[in-house]
Amino acid sequence: MALRLNPSVPAETHRHMATGHDKAKFGLELPSALRLARAWDRFPHLRLAGVHVHIGSQLATPEPTAQAVARALEFVDAANNAGHAISTLNVGGGFPIAYDGADAPATVGDFAAALAPLLEGRDLAVFLEPGRRIIADAGALLVEVQYVKENYGARFVITDGGMNDLLRPALYGAEHRVWPVAGAAGPASPAGVAGPICESSDFLARAAPLPPLAPGDLLAVLDAGAYGATMSSTYNARPLAPEVLVEGATFRVVRRRQTWEEMAALE
Are 39 and 85 in the same domain? yes
pLDDT of 234 over the 80 cut: yes
Which H or E element spans position 203? strand 203-210
In a domain, 242, yes or no: no
pLDDT bin (cut points 50, 70, 90) of residue 102 is low
Q: Which of 158, 170, 154 is nearest to 231 (CA)?
A: 170
Residue range 136-148: average pLDDT? 96
Check: CB of residue 68 under 8 Å from CB of residue 55: yes
What is the span of the domain harbouring residue 214?
139-237
Rounded distance between C-alpha atoms, residue 163 and residue 197, angstroms: 8
Residue range 106-133: average pLDDT? 94
pTM: 0.88
pLDDT of 224 over the 90 cut: yes
Rounded distance between C-alpha atoms, residue 62 and residue 118, angstroms: 13
* Active-site residue identified among 46, 102, 198, 214: 198
Burial of 151 (0-12, 13-18, 19+ CB in 10 A): exposed
The answer to whether residue 198 is catalytic is yes
pLDDT of 260 over the 80 cut: yes
Are 143 and 131 in the same domain? no
Are 127 and 154 in the same domain? no
- By percentage, how much of the chain surpasses pLDDT 90? 82
Check: CB of residue 75 under 8 Å from CB of residue 34: yes
pLDDT of 15 over the 90 cut: no
pLDDT of 103 over the 80 cut: no
